Structure 1
Amino acid sequence: MTSTLARTPGATTRARWPGSSVASQILVLTDRSLRALVREPQLVVFGLMQPVILLFLFTQVFANLLMTPHFPQGISYVDYLVPAVLIDNAVQSSLQSGVGLVEDLKNGVVSRLRSLPIQPASLLIARSLSDLCRSAVQIILILVLAIALLGYTPKGGVTGILISIGLTLVVSWALGWVFLAVGTWIRKAEPMQTINGIALFPLMFASSAYVPVADLPAWLQVVARANPLTYAVDATRAVALGIPGSAALAPAVVISAVIVIVSFGFAVLGFRRPLTP
Protein backbone atom coordinates (compact mmCIF):
# COMPACT_ATOMS: atom_id res chain seq x y z
CA MET A 1 0.00 0.00 0.00
CA THR A 2 1.40 3.33 -0.94
CA SER A 3 0.44 6.75 0.23
CA THR A 4 1.09 10.19 -1.08
CA LEU A 5 1.86 13.12 1.16
CA ALA A 6 -0.53 15.87 0.25
CA ARG A 7 0.93 19.39 0.01
CA THR A 8 -0.97 21.84 2.12
CA PRO A 9 -2.53 24.48 -0.10
CA GLY A 10 -0.59 27.74 0.04
CA ALA A 11 2.46 26.09 1.56
CA THR A 12 5.78 27.07 0.08
CA THR A 13 9.18 25.51 0.28
CA ARG A 14 11.53 27.76 2.21
CA ALA A 15 14.79 28.16 0.30
CA ARG A 16 18.01 27.87 2.23
CA TRP A 17 19.64 31.28 2.76
CA PRO A 18 22.90 31.24 0.79
CA GLY A 19 24.41 34.18 2.66
CA SER A 20 25.27 37.63 1.38
CA SER A 21 27.00 38.18 -1.92
CA VAL A 22 30.77 38.12 -2.18
CA ALA A 23 30.77 41.83 -3.04
CA SER A 24 28.77 42.63 0.12
CA GLN A 25 31.11 40.51 2.24
CA ILE A 26 34.18 42.27 0.85
CA LEU A 27 32.59 45.69 1.41
CA VAL A 28 31.62 44.98 5.02
CA LEU A 29 34.94 43.35 5.92
CA THR A 30 36.95 46.13 4.27
CA ASP A 31 34.91 48.70 6.19
CA ARG A 32 35.67 46.79 9.40
CA SER A 33 39.41 46.88 8.72
CA LEU A 34 39.36 50.57 7.80
CA ARG A 35 37.47 51.45 10.97
CA ALA A 36 40.17 49.69 12.98
CA LEU A 37 42.76 51.72 11.07
CA VAL A 38 40.95 54.97 11.92
CA ARG A 39 40.87 54.01 15.58
CA GLU A 40 44.63 53.34 15.50
CA PRO A 41 46.18 56.04 13.27
CA GLN A 42 49.59 55.22 14.74
CA LEU A 43 49.69 52.28 12.32
CA VAL A 44 49.87 54.76 9.44
CA VAL A 45 52.43 56.92 11.25
CA PHE A 46 54.70 54.01 12.18
CA GLY A 47 54.50 52.69 8.64
CA LEU A 48 55.74 56.07 7.40
CA MET A 49 58.79 56.18 9.64
CA GLN A 50 61.23 54.10 7.61
CA PRO A 51 60.42 55.56 4.16
CA VAL A 52 60.54 59.14 5.51
CA ILE A 53 63.79 58.55 7.40
CA LEU A 54 65.25 56.98 4.28
CA LEU A 55 64.12 59.93 2.18
CA PHE A 56 65.68 62.55 4.45
CA LEU A 57 68.82 60.54 5.18
CA PHE A 58 69.68 59.80 1.56
CA THR A 59 68.86 63.26 0.24
CA GLN A 60 70.75 65.14 2.96
CA VAL A 61 73.75 62.88 3.54
CA PHE A 62 74.36 60.85 0.39
CA ALA A 63 73.05 63.07 -2.41
CA ASN A 64 76.44 64.20 -3.70
CA LEU A 65 78.03 60.79 -3.22
CA LEU A 66 75.35 59.01 -5.22
CA MET A 67 75.49 61.27 -8.31
CA THR A 68 77.07 58.49 -10.36
CA PRO A 69 78.35 58.64 -13.98
CA HIS A 70 75.11 57.22 -15.41
CA PHE A 71 72.87 59.49 -13.35
CA PRO A 72 70.19 61.24 -15.50
CA GLN A 73 71.19 64.73 -16.56
CA GLY A 74 69.19 67.65 -15.20
CA ILE A 75 67.60 65.60 -12.41
CA SER A 76 68.27 66.28 -8.75
CA TYR A 77 68.79 63.39 -6.41
CA VAL A 78 65.63 64.34 -4.51
CA ASP A 79 63.58 63.98 -7.69
CA TYR A 80 65.37 60.73 -8.51
CA LEU A 81 64.83 59.26 -5.05
CA VAL A 82 61.20 60.10 -4.27
CA PRO A 83 59.66 57.57 -6.72
CA ALA A 84 61.90 54.88 -5.22
CA VAL A 85 60.78 55.83 -1.72
CA LEU A 86 57.16 55.46 -2.83
CA ILE A 87 57.93 51.92 -4.02
CA ASP A 88 59.79 51.29 -0.76
CA ASN A 89 56.66 52.30 1.13
CA ALA A 90 54.67 49.91 -1.07
CA VAL A 91 57.01 47.09 -0.07
CA GLN A 92 56.69 48.03 3.60
CA SER A 93 52.90 48.07 3.39
CA SER A 94 52.83 44.70 1.66
CA LEU A 95 55.01 43.20 4.37
CA GLN A 96 52.61 44.46 7.02
CA SER A 97 49.70 42.79 5.20
CA GLY A 98 51.14 39.36 5.98
CA VAL A 99 51.96 40.28 9.57
CA GLY A 100 48.46 41.68 10.14
CA LEU A 101 46.87 38.51 8.80
CA VAL A 102 49.00 36.35 11.10
CA GLU A 103 47.91 38.47 14.08
CA ASP A 104 44.24 38.02 13.14
CA LEU A 105 44.81 34.27 12.87
CA LYS A 106 46.34 34.22 16.37
CA ASN A 107 43.88 36.46 18.22
CA GLY A 108 40.78 34.54 17.13
CA VAL A 109 39.28 37.13 14.79
CA VAL A 110 39.57 34.82 11.79
CA SER A 111 38.10 31.91 13.78
CA ARG A 112 34.99 33.94 14.56
CA LEU A 113 34.62 35.15 10.99
CA ARG A 114 35.09 31.68 9.55
CA SER A 115 32.16 30.44 11.65
CA LEU A 116 29.94 32.72 9.57
CA PRO A 117 28.76 32.07 5.99
CA ILE A 118 31.66 34.06 4.53
CA GLN A 119 33.83 33.07 1.59
CA PRO A 120 37.50 32.70 2.61
CA ALA A 121 38.53 34.74 -0.42
CA SER A 122 36.37 37.63 0.83
CA LEU A 123 38.41 37.85 4.04
CA LEU A 124 41.67 37.96 2.11
CA ILE A 125 40.46 40.47 -0.48
CA ALA A 126 39.11 42.76 2.25
CA ARG A 127 42.46 42.61 4.05
CA SER A 128 44.31 43.47 0.83
CA LEU A 129 42.00 46.40 0.04
CA SER A 130 42.22 47.93 3.51
CA ASP A 131 46.01 47.70 3.40
CA LEU A 132 45.93 49.29 -0.04
CA CYS A 133 43.98 52.24 1.38
CA ARG A 134 46.58 52.63 4.12
CA SER A 135 49.33 52.57 1.52
CA ALA A 136 47.53 55.27 -0.50
CA VAL A 137 47.35 57.57 2.54
CA GLN A 138 51.04 57.04 3.23
CA ILE A 139 51.99 57.72 -0.39
CA ILE A 140 50.12 61.04 -0.36
CA LEU A 141 51.78 62.06 2.91
CA ILE A 142 55.25 61.20 1.57
CA LEU A 143 54.62 63.28 -1.56
CA VAL A 144 53.40 66.23 0.50
CA LEU A 145 56.51 66.08 2.72
CA ALA A 146 58.83 65.73 -0.27
CA ILE A 147 57.28 68.70 -2.10
CA ALA A 148 56.96 70.95 0.95
CA LEU A 149 60.27 70.24 2.70
CA LEU A 150 62.68 68.92 0.08
CA GLY A 151 61.59 70.76 -3.05
CA TYR A 152 60.50 67.71 -5.01
CA THR A 153 59.48 68.97 -8.45
CA PRO A 154 58.21 66.19 -10.71
CA LYS A 155 58.41 67.43 -14.30
CA GLY A 156 55.77 64.94 -15.41
CA GLY A 157 53.13 67.23 -13.95
CA VAL A 158 49.87 66.19 -12.34
CA THR A 159 49.34 63.41 -14.88
CA GLY A 160 52.76 61.94 -14.20
CA ILE A 161 52.20 62.07 -10.45
CA LEU A 162 48.82 60.37 -10.72
CA ILE A 163 50.19 57.61 -12.96
CA SER A 164 53.14 57.07 -10.62
CA ILE A 165 50.78 56.86 -7.63
CA GLY A 166 48.57 54.39 -9.49
CA LEU A 167 51.50 52.20 -10.45
CA THR A 168 52.84 52.30 -6.91
CA LEU A 169 49.48 51.12 -5.60
CA VAL A 170 49.39 48.31 -8.18
CA VAL A 171 52.84 47.16 -7.02
CA SER A 172 51.81 47.46 -3.37
CA TRP A 173 48.67 45.37 -3.97
CA ALA A 174 50.61 42.70 -5.86
CA LEU A 175 53.32 42.37 -3.23
CA GLY A 176 50.68 42.41 -0.52
CA TRP A 177 49.21 39.23 -1.99
CA VAL A 178 52.65 37.61 -1.88
CA PHE A 179 52.96 38.18 1.85
CA LEU A 180 49.32 37.31 2.49
CA ALA A 181 50.05 33.96 0.85
CA VAL A 182 53.17 33.51 2.96
CA GLY A 183 51.21 34.41 6.10
CA THR A 184 48.47 31.85 5.42
CA TRP A 185 51.06 29.07 5.25
CA ILE A 186 53.47 30.13 8.01
CA ARG A 187 50.93 31.52 10.52
CA LYS A 188 53.62 32.62 12.99
CA ALA A 189 54.62 36.21 13.69
CA GLU A 190 58.32 35.62 14.37
CA PRO A 191 59.14 33.87 11.06
CA MET A 192 57.09 36.50 9.23
CA GLN A 193 59.14 39.30 10.76
CA THR A 194 62.33 37.48 9.78
CA ILE A 195 61.11 37.01 6.21
CA ASN A 196 60.19 40.69 6.09
CA GLY A 197 63.70 41.75 7.02
CA ILE A 198 65.30 39.32 4.59
CA ALA A 199 63.03 40.31 1.70
CA LEU A 200 63.06 44.09 2.10
CA PHE A 201 66.72 44.99 1.65
CA PRO A 202 67.54 42.74 -1.32
CA LEU A 203 64.37 43.81 -3.10
CA MET A 204 65.11 47.51 -2.74
CA PHE A 205 68.90 47.74 -2.82
CA ALA A 206 69.36 45.18 -5.61
CA SER A 207 67.34 47.36 -7.98
CA SER A 208 67.46 50.76 -9.66
CA ALA A 209 65.94 52.42 -6.59
CA TYR A 210 68.95 54.39 -5.34
CA VAL A 211 71.50 54.38 -8.17
CA PRO A 212 71.23 53.57 -11.90
CA VAL A 213 71.64 49.89 -12.67
CA ALA A 214 74.60 50.65 -14.97
CA ASP A 215 76.55 51.96 -11.95
CA LEU A 216 76.12 48.77 -9.92
CA PRO A 217 78.75 45.99 -9.86
CA ALA A 218 78.41 43.58 -12.80
CA TRP A 219 76.99 40.70 -10.76
CA LEU A 220 74.51 43.02 -9.04
CA GLN A 221 73.39 44.41 -12.40
CA VAL A 222 72.26 40.90 -13.34
CA VAL A 223 70.24 40.64 -10.12
CA ALA A 224 68.77 44.14 -10.51
CA ARG A 225 67.62 43.49 -14.07
CA ALA A 226 65.85 40.33 -12.89
CA ASN A 227 64.28 42.14 -9.94
CA PRO A 228 60.62 43.06 -10.66
CA LEU A 229 60.95 46.19 -8.53
CA THR A 230 63.48 47.60 -11.01
CA TYR A 231 60.72 47.80 -13.62
CA ALA A 232 58.33 49.36 -11.11
CA VAL A 233 60.85 51.97 -9.96
CA ASP A 234 61.96 52.80 -13.52
CA ALA A 235 58.38 53.21 -14.73
CA THR A 236 57.31 55.28 -11.70
CA ARG A 237 60.37 57.51 -12.02
CA ALA A 238 59.95 57.95 -15.78
CA VAL A 239 56.31 59.06 -15.69
CA ALA A 240 56.81 61.28 -12.63
CA LEU A 241 59.92 63.04 -13.93
CA GLY A 242 59.14 62.98 -17.64
CA ILE A 243 62.35 61.12 -18.54
CA PRO A 244 62.98 58.08 -20.78
CA GLY A 245 61.98 54.76 -19.24
CA SER A 246 58.19 54.72 -19.50
CA ALA A 247 58.52 51.54 -21.58
CA ALA A 248 58.92 49.74 -18.25
CA LEU A 249 55.32 50.66 -17.39
CA ALA A 250 53.72 47.76 -19.29
CA PRO A 251 56.13 45.08 -17.93
CA ALA A 252 55.60 46.39 -14.39
CA VAL A 253 51.81 46.09 -14.71
CA VAL A 254 51.99 42.65 -16.35
CA ILE A 255 54.39 41.32 -13.71
CA SER A 256 52.16 42.70 -10.95
CA ALA A 257 49.09 41.01 -12.50
CA VAL A 258 50.86 37.65 -12.70
CA ILE A 259 52.01 37.98 -9.08
CA VAL A 260 48.44 38.73 -7.96
CA ILE A 261 46.95 35.74 -9.78
CA VAL A 262 49.53 33.24 -8.52
CA SER A 263 49.67 34.59 -4.97
CA PHE A 264 45.88 34.77 -4.70
CA GLY A 265 45.64 31.06 -5.49
CA PHE A 266 48.26 30.11 -2.91
CA ALA A 267 46.72 32.45 -0.32
CA VAL A 268 43.25 30.90 -0.67
CA LEU A 269 44.68 27.38 -0.48
CA GLY A 270 46.66 28.23 2.65
CA PHE A 271 43.75 30.05 4.24
CA ARG A 272 41.42 27.07 3.80
CA ARG A 273 43.63 24.87 5.95
CA PRO A 274 42.38 24.13 9.48
CA LEU A 275 43.28 26.84 11.98
CA THR A 276 44.68 24.29 14.42
CA PRO A 277 47.13 21.48 13.54
Structure 2
Amino acid sequence: MTSSTPRVADPVLAAVSVRERPPRASALSATVTHLWRGAMAFKHFPAQLIDMMLLPIIFLLLFTYMFGGAFAGSTQEYLQFFLPGIAVQSVILMTVYTGTAINTDINKGVFDRFRTLPFWQPAAIAGNLLGDVVRYVIALSVTIGLGLLLGFRPGGGLPGVLAAMAVLIVFGFSVSWIFAAIGVVASVPERVSGTSMIVIYPLVFTSNIFVQPDTMPSWTQTLVQLNPISHAATASRALMHGTAGFWDVMGALIISAAITVVFAPLAVRLYRNKNAR
Protein backbone atom coordinates (compact mmCIF):
# COMPACT_ATOMS: atom_id res chain seq x y z
CA MET A 1 0.00 0.00 0.00
CA THR A 2 1.52 3.26 -1.08
CA SER A 3 1.53 6.38 1.01
CA SER A 4 -0.88 8.00 -1.42
CA THR A 5 -3.52 5.31 -0.81
CA PRO A 6 -6.22 6.65 1.57
CA ARG A 7 -6.38 4.74 4.88
CA VAL A 8 -9.67 3.01 5.63
CA ALA A 9 -10.69 3.62 9.26
CA ASP A 10 -11.41 0.63 11.47
CA PRO A 11 -15.22 0.62 12.00
CA VAL A 12 -14.80 -0.36 15.66
CA LEU A 13 -12.34 2.45 16.32
CA ALA A 14 -14.57 4.82 14.42
CA ALA A 15 -17.54 3.85 16.58
CA VAL A 16 -15.79 4.27 19.92
CA SER A 17 -14.08 7.49 18.89
CA VAL A 18 -17.37 9.33 18.44
CA ARG A 19 -17.41 11.98 21.13
CA GLU A 20 -21.16 12.48 21.23
CA ARG A 21 -22.75 9.81 23.41
CA PRO A 22 -26.33 8.61 23.02
CA PRO A 23 -28.75 10.00 25.61
CA ARG A 24 -29.18 8.05 28.84
CA ALA A 25 -32.28 5.87 28.83
CA SER A 26 -35.09 7.21 30.99
CA ALA A 27 -36.45 5.18 33.91
CA LEU A 28 -39.62 4.50 31.94
CA SER A 29 -37.74 3.38 28.84
CA ALA A 30 -35.47 1.08 30.85
CA THR A 31 -38.44 -0.44 32.68
CA VAL A 32 -40.31 -1.09 29.43
CA THR A 33 -37.20 -2.75 27.98
CA HIS A 34 -36.96 -5.11 30.93
CA LEU A 35 -40.70 -5.72 30.75
CA TRP A 36 -40.25 -6.87 27.16
CA ARG A 37 -37.33 -9.04 28.21
CA GLY A 38 -39.48 -10.70 30.87
CA ALA A 39 -42.32 -11.28 28.42
CA MET A 40 -39.90 -12.91 25.97
CA ALA A 41 -39.13 -15.57 28.58
CA PHE A 42 -42.19 -17.45 27.33
CA LYS A 43 -40.52 -17.80 23.94
CA HIS A 44 -37.40 -19.41 25.41
CA PHE A 45 -39.08 -21.30 28.28
CA PRO A 46 -42.50 -22.43 26.99
CA ALA A 47 -42.79 -24.88 29.90
CA GLN A 48 -43.83 -21.90 32.02
CA LEU A 49 -47.05 -21.71 30.01
CA ILE A 50 -47.83 -25.31 30.94
CA ASP A 51 -47.45 -24.49 34.65
CA MET A 52 -49.68 -21.44 34.33
CA MET A 53 -52.40 -23.42 32.60
CA LEU A 54 -52.24 -26.72 34.48
CA LEU A 55 -52.16 -25.46 38.08
CA PRO A 56 -55.49 -23.55 37.91
CA ILE A 57 -57.14 -26.45 36.06
CA ILE A 58 -55.97 -29.04 38.60
CA PHE A 59 -57.05 -27.05 41.65
CA LEU A 60 -60.40 -26.06 40.17
CA LEU A 61 -61.34 -29.61 39.13
CA LEU A 62 -59.96 -31.26 42.25
CA PHE A 63 -61.71 -29.10 44.84
CA THR A 64 -64.94 -28.66 42.91
CA TYR A 65 -65.61 -32.33 42.22
CA MET A 66 -63.83 -33.94 45.17
CA PHE A 67 -64.93 -31.62 47.98
CA GLY A 68 -67.67 -29.43 46.52
CA GLY A 69 -70.49 -31.74 47.54
CA ALA A 70 -69.22 -31.99 51.11
CA PHE A 71 -68.58 -28.26 51.45
CA ALA A 72 -71.70 -26.84 49.81
CA GLY A 73 -74.10 -29.71 49.16
CA SER A 74 -73.57 -29.71 45.39
CA THR A 75 -70.68 -29.17 43.05
CA GLN A 76 -72.50 -26.48 41.07
CA GLU A 77 -73.30 -24.44 44.16
CA TYR A 78 -69.74 -24.77 45.38
CA LEU A 79 -68.38 -23.72 41.99
CA GLN A 80 -70.19 -20.38 42.26
CA PHE A 81 -68.46 -19.77 45.60
CA PHE A 82 -65.10 -21.35 44.86
CA LEU A 83 -64.11 -20.00 41.45
CA PRO A 84 -63.64 -16.33 42.44
CA GLY A 85 -61.48 -17.54 45.31
CA ILE A 86 -59.34 -19.94 43.30
CA ALA A 87 -58.72 -17.07 40.88
CA VAL A 88 -56.89 -15.35 43.74
CA GLN A 89 -54.77 -18.44 44.35
CA SER A 90 -53.95 -18.69 40.65
CA VAL A 91 -52.49 -15.18 40.73
CA ILE A 92 -50.67 -15.65 44.05
CA LEU A 93 -48.89 -18.77 42.81
CA MET A 94 -47.67 -16.88 39.76
CA THR A 95 -45.97 -14.23 41.92
CA VAL A 96 -43.32 -16.77 42.88
CA TYR A 97 -41.92 -16.56 39.35
CA THR A 98 -40.88 -12.98 40.08
CA GLY A 99 -38.44 -13.92 42.81
CA THR A 100 -37.21 -17.00 40.97
CA ALA A 101 -36.47 -15.04 37.78
CA ILE A 102 -34.61 -12.29 39.66
CA ASN A 103 -32.55 -14.78 41.64
CA THR A 104 -31.70 -16.74 38.49
CA ASP A 105 -30.40 -13.59 36.81
CA ILE A 106 -28.32 -12.75 39.87
CA ASN A 107 -26.76 -16.22 40.07
CA LYS A 108 -26.03 -16.31 36.34
CA GLY A 109 -24.27 -12.95 36.49
CA VAL A 110 -26.81 -11.14 34.32
CA PHE A 111 -27.41 -8.49 36.98
CA ASP A 112 -23.64 -7.93 37.19
CA ARG A 113 -23.76 -6.97 33.53
CA PHE A 114 -26.78 -4.76 34.08
CA ARG A 115 -25.09 -2.70 36.78
CA THR A 116 -22.29 -1.71 34.40
CA LEU A 117 -24.83 -0.12 32.05
CA PRO A 118 -26.02 3.49 32.36
CA PHE A 119 -29.71 3.01 33.13
CA TRP A 120 -31.94 3.27 36.20
CA GLN A 121 -30.98 0.04 37.96
CA PRO A 122 -34.31 -0.73 39.73
CA ALA A 123 -35.82 -0.99 36.24
CA ALA A 124 -34.50 -4.56 36.15
CA ILE A 125 -36.82 -5.44 39.05
CA ALA A 126 -39.76 -3.24 38.06
CA GLY A 127 -39.68 -4.55 34.50
CA ASN A 128 -39.76 -8.14 35.73
CA LEU A 129 -42.75 -7.39 37.93
CA LEU A 130 -44.67 -5.68 35.14
CA GLY A 131 -43.83 -8.55 32.78
CA ASP A 132 -45.39 -10.95 35.25
CA VAL A 133 -48.74 -9.26 34.65
CA VAL A 134 -48.87 -11.40 31.50
CA ARG A 135 -48.73 -14.48 33.73
CA TYR A 136 -51.59 -13.17 35.86
CA VAL A 137 -53.77 -12.55 32.82
CA ILE A 138 -53.10 -16.03 31.45
CA ALA A 139 -53.77 -17.74 34.80
CA LEU A 140 -56.99 -15.77 35.36
CA SER A 141 -58.22 -16.35 31.81
CA VAL A 142 -57.68 -20.10 32.09
CA THR A 143 -59.34 -20.29 35.51
CA ILE A 144 -62.39 -18.23 34.62
CA GLY A 145 -62.71 -19.78 31.15
CA LEU A 146 -62.74 -23.30 32.57
CA GLY A 147 -65.18 -22.22 35.27
CA LEU A 148 -67.59 -20.92 32.64
CA LEU A 149 -67.39 -24.23 30.81
CA LEU A 150 -68.15 -26.09 34.06
CA GLY A 151 -71.20 -23.95 34.79
CA PHE A 152 -69.96 -20.88 36.64
CA ARG A 153 -72.33 -17.97 36.07
CA PRO A 154 -71.12 -14.57 37.34
CA GLY A 155 -74.00 -12.32 38.39
CA GLY A 156 -71.90 -9.25 37.64
CA GLY A 157 -71.50 -10.26 34.00
CA LEU A 158 -68.48 -9.37 31.90
CA PRO A 159 -67.90 -5.97 33.61
CA GLY A 160 -67.81 -7.66 37.00
CA VAL A 161 -65.39 -10.33 35.81
CA LEU A 162 -63.07 -7.76 34.22
CA ALA A 163 -63.18 -5.58 37.34
CA ALA A 164 -62.33 -8.60 39.50
CA MET A 165 -59.41 -9.46 37.21
CA ALA A 166 -58.12 -5.89 37.46
CA VAL A 167 -58.25 -5.95 41.27
CA LEU A 168 -56.50 -9.32 41.40
CA ILE A 169 -53.77 -8.13 39.02
CA VAL A 170 -53.15 -5.14 41.31
CA PHE A 171 -53.07 -7.47 44.32
CA GLY A 172 -50.71 -9.90 42.58
CA PHE A 173 -48.40 -7.04 41.56
CA SER A 174 -48.16 -5.92 45.19
CA VAL A 175 -47.46 -9.44 46.49
CA SER A 176 -44.78 -9.94 43.84
CA TRP A 177 -42.68 -7.24 45.56
CA ILE A 178 -42.42 -9.57 48.56
CA PHE A 179 -40.97 -12.36 46.44
CA ALA A 180 -38.78 -9.89 44.57
CA ALA A 181 -37.16 -9.05 47.91
CA ILE A 182 -36.78 -12.75 48.69
CA GLY A 183 -35.31 -13.33 45.23
CA VAL A 184 -32.61 -10.70 45.81
CA VAL A 185 -31.39 -12.17 49.11
CA ALA A 186 -31.88 -15.91 48.48
CA SER A 187 -28.80 -17.97 47.67
CA VAL A 188 -30.33 -20.12 44.90
CA PRO A 189 -33.63 -20.14 42.94
CA GLU A 190 -34.73 -23.33 44.73
CA ARG A 191 -34.55 -21.46 48.03
CA VAL A 192 -36.92 -18.84 46.62
CA SER A 193 -39.46 -21.50 45.64
CA GLY A 194 -39.21 -23.32 48.95
CA THR A 195 -39.56 -20.17 51.04
CA SER A 196 -42.43 -18.95 48.89
CA MET A 197 -44.42 -22.13 49.37
CA ILE A 198 -43.91 -21.95 53.14
CA VAL A 199 -45.40 -18.44 53.05
CA ILE A 200 -48.15 -18.94 50.45
CA TYR A 201 -49.87 -22.17 51.40
CA PRO A 202 -50.56 -21.38 55.08
CA LEU A 203 -52.03 -18.03 54.01
CA VAL A 204 -54.10 -19.61 51.24
CA PHE A 205 -55.58 -22.33 53.46
CA THR A 206 -56.30 -19.92 56.33
CA SER A 207 -58.30 -17.64 54.03
CA ASN A 208 -61.90 -17.73 52.80
CA ILE A 209 -60.96 -19.13 49.39
CA PHE A 210 -62.21 -22.66 50.05
CA VAL A 211 -64.94 -22.32 52.67
CA GLN A 212 -66.96 -19.68 54.47
CA PRO A 213 -65.36 -18.89 57.83
CA ASP A 214 -68.75 -18.96 59.63
CA THR A 215 -68.30 -22.61 60.63
CA MET A 216 -64.82 -22.07 62.04
CA PRO A 217 -63.88 -21.45 65.69
CA SER A 218 -63.84 -17.77 66.64
CA TRP A 219 -60.04 -17.55 66.79
CA THR A 220 -59.78 -19.06 63.32
CA GLN A 221 -62.33 -16.57 62.00
CA THR A 222 -60.13 -13.79 63.33
CA LEU A 223 -57.15 -15.17 61.44
CA VAL A 224 -59.23 -15.40 58.26
CA GLN A 225 -60.43 -11.82 58.62
CA LEU A 226 -56.87 -10.54 59.10
CA ASN A 227 -55.53 -12.51 56.15
CA PRO A 228 -54.85 -10.23 53.13
CA ILE A 229 -55.77 -13.05 50.75
CA SER A 230 -59.26 -13.18 52.29
CA HIS A 231 -59.82 -9.53 51.35
CA ALA A 232 -58.74 -10.22 47.77
CA ALA A 233 -61.09 -13.24 47.59
CA THR A 234 -63.97 -11.20 49.04
CA ALA A 235 -63.43 -8.47 46.44
CA SER A 236 -63.23 -11.07 43.66
CA ARG A 237 -66.50 -12.75 44.71
CA ALA A 238 -68.37 -9.50 45.21
CA LEU A 239 -67.32 -8.11 41.83
CA MET A 240 -67.98 -11.30 39.86
CA HIS A 241 -71.39 -11.81 41.44
CA GLY A 242 -72.39 -8.14 41.22
CA THR A 243 -72.76 -7.61 44.98
CA ALA A 244 -69.67 -5.47 45.56
CA GLY A 245 -69.83 -2.75 48.16
CA PHE A 246 -67.35 0.10 48.46
CA TRP A 247 -65.25 -1.49 51.20
CA ASP A 248 -65.31 -4.93 49.57
CA VAL A 249 -63.12 -3.52 46.82
CA MET A 250 -61.32 -0.76 48.71
CA GLY A 251 -60.18 -3.20 51.40
CA ALA A 252 -58.25 -5.23 48.83
CA LEU A 253 -56.85 -2.13 47.14
CA ILE A 254 -55.72 -0.54 50.42
CA ILE A 255 -53.96 -3.75 51.44
CA SER A 256 -52.30 -3.93 48.00
CA ALA A 257 -51.08 -0.35 48.38
CA ALA A 258 -49.76 -1.05 51.89
CA ILE A 259 -47.83 -4.14 50.75
CA THR A 260 -46.32 -2.18 47.86
CA VAL A 261 -45.34 0.77 50.07
CA VAL A 262 -43.51 -1.55 52.47
CA PHE A 263 -41.90 -4.11 50.17
CA ALA A 264 -41.16 -2.13 46.99
CA PRO A 265 -38.62 0.18 48.71
CA LEU A 266 -37.25 -2.83 50.61
CA ALA A 267 -36.69 -4.85 47.43
CA VAL A 268 -35.04 -1.89 45.68
CA ARG A 269 -32.82 -1.17 48.68
CA LEU A 270 -31.73 -4.80 48.96
CA TYR A 271 -30.96 -4.81 45.25
CA ARG A 272 -28.89 -1.63 45.45
CA ASN A 273 -27.00 -2.93 48.48
CA LYS A 274 -26.25 -6.13 46.62
CA ASN A 275 -24.85 -4.07 43.74
CA ALA A 276 -22.69 -2.13 46.15
CA ARG A 277 -20.86 -5.23 47.38
The TM-score with structure 2 as length reference comes to: 0.87
Given residue 59 of structure 2, which amino acid in structure 1 is its aligned partner? Answer: L
Other-structure match for 1:26: 31
Other-structure match for 2:7: none
Other-structure match for 1:103: 104
Other-structure match for 1:11: none
Other-structure match for 1:10: none
Distance 1:56 1:39, change over 3 A: same
Which residue of the other structure, out of 69, 72, 83, is the alignment partner of 1:67?
A: 72
Given residue 169 of structure 1, which amino acid in structure 2 is its aligned partner? Answer: I
User: Please, which moves more after superposition, 184-193 or 171-180?
Assistant: 184-193
User: Shift in Å at residue 244 of structure 1?
Assistant: 5.8
Given residue 170 of structure 2, which amino acid in structure 1 is its aligned partner? Answer: V
Can you list the C-alpha shifts for 1:124-146, whole angstroms capped at 9, x where unaligned?
A: 11000111112112211221122
Q: Is the 1:184–1:270 contact (alpha carbons within 8 Å) kept by the matching residues of 2? A: yes
Cα distance in 1 for residues equivalent to 2:68 and 2:243: 19
User: Shift in Å at residue 276 of structure 1?
Assistant: 9.1
- SS of residue matched to 1:274: helix
Cα distance in 2 for residues equivalent to 1:186 and 1:40: 22
Cα distance in 2 for residues equivalent to 1:227 and 1:76: 25
Structure 1, unpaired ranges of 5+: 1-13
Structure 2, unpaired ranges of 5+: 1-18
Task: List structure 1 segments (4+ residues) > 6 angstroms apart after TM superposition.
Answer: none
Q: Is the 1:206–1:223 contact (alpha carbons within 8 Å) kept by the matching residues of 2? A: yes
Given residue 128 of structure 1, which amino acid in structure 2 is its aligned partner? Answer: L
Q: Is the 1:235–1:246 contact (alpha carbons within 8 Å) kept by the matching residues of 2? A: no
How many correspondences in the alignment?
Answer: 258
Other-structure match for 1:222: 222
Identity of paired residues, percent? 26
Other-structure match for 2:11: none
Q: Is the 1:234–1:245 contact (alpha carbons within 8 Å) kept by the matching residues of 2? A: no
Given residue 154 of structure 2, which amino acid in structure 1 is its aligned partner? Answer: P
Can you list the C-alpha shifts for 1:25-68, whole angstroms capped at 9, x where unaligned?
A: 11111111112223323202213323221110111111111128
- SS of residue matched to 1:120: coil
User: Shift in Å at residue 257 of structure 1?
Assistant: 0.9
Q: Is the 2:56–2:142 contact (alpha carbons within 8 Å) kept by the matching residues of 1? A: no
Q: Is the 1:102–1:184 contact (alpha carbons within 8 Å) kept by the matching residues of 2? A: yes
User: Shift in Å at residue 275 of structure 1?
Assistant: 5.2
Other-structure match for 1:258: 258
Say what the alpha-carbon RMSD is for the aligned residues: 2.1
User: Shift in Å at residue 248 of structure 1?
Assistant: 1.8
Other-structure match for 2:269: 269
Other-structure match for 1:197: 197
Distance 1:18 1:258, change over 3 A: farther
Cα distance in 1 for residues equivalent to 2:260 and 2:197: 22
User: Shift in Å at residue 17 of structure 1?
Assistant: 5.7
Q: Is the 2:115–2:275 contact (alpha carbons within 8 Å) kept by the matching residues of 1? A: no
Can you list the C-alpha shifts for 1:189-230, whole angstroms capped at 9, x where unaligned?
A: 233222112112111111111111212232211111110111
Cα distance in 1 for residues equivalent to 2:85 and 2:246: 15
